[in-house]
A and B are shown apart, each in its own frame.
Chain A
């Protein structure tokens, strides 16, 4: 493979958030790889580790470092809080700074809920808007969400921020799709495949008053 071609393959992988190919680089290629890496590493808000990685590595370290088996240790509540905090930061973006807290998770694969500590109910749609039964995106201040009409009536609301890299999801008829890297979620907010190490989308508090659909926001 020509140097130019392999450097391009490296850059393409980098831009797709995949592990770049390895090869013996000459001095010129090395400069290109490293400048590409520095550029890609300078993205903001996407340089946080996933909650799954943080807790997975903790388990790996425990197996390696501790004589005591993990099963005999009390569950690490703080670990969940840290992990949840990162997931919430990635999922809620600015909303976290504005007083949304991530509720406790019974396990790290579970769906959290974003509840503003000082919230107000805001109308984001009417029932007529949801009459076609399809999910519908909304923005309400710092909250980017999606409304999911339920078969038996009622409406659920989910965060519409991808838990992979923080892009805004597109609402499709049967799924929520991330335009950035292709991660997708079902209409309950569960990740459809595990390739992206995504966590479930946090739920948002919602209610229907008369024909108004309201979401609790900060």
Chain B
């Protein structure tokens, strides 16, 4: 009896495991089936196809919490969210913070709530209960399959942050250094193109990556130039941005993430359009992002 029972239970469990294989038809696309059905009609080949261009009326905005604009971001965001590296309630300035404030004003809401989420959960569409995410997020086709993007509000190349004195000025040198990146960022895709000889170290959190750079466990940290410039400015001369990559597909474009299928895209785009047309968004960038990425030497990738 005991033997029979063991065999039967084992068989039942094996069959249950086999069930997990059902339904994953081979060659299925990278898109989870449960995402919203608002798929773009054309095939996405670059950032230009990946964001939604609808411009609606500002008044049509419906916040997730009454009278409150809920913005998620992944802290720290040097230059973009200033005031604290971990407590979103202490944020008082920064480029994206100022955009959030402008948006709150445009929508006529009384409160602004900033919430901290991990970067990869924002870009993978796992974060919920927010109006929009401003977190130096590059618009990509892959991300656009699980979240919606607003029109772009900033352009950035990938910058190379090193300990002061380290040389990375050519593609050949870039292939030889030990890279560090943050998980879920477009820097990983860029390293796939560069093909460095040592496999990169991947950090869950941005500060861990910077610590590893200081600890000499990586030689260079790759992330958007604007973010790395912010870190270099804070490091008291320990770090510097020595180069940035000119990517084959052009620089990364930052867009706000809006939950997939949200009706607020039009209203949010309307505010971005206002801010761009009035020149305010450029003025904010000059005010908040002190170092100018234009001065950093460029490495071209063919």
Whether A associates with B in a native complex is: no
What is the interface of chain A, defined by CB distance below 8 A to chain B?
none
Interface residues of B (CB under 8 A from A): none
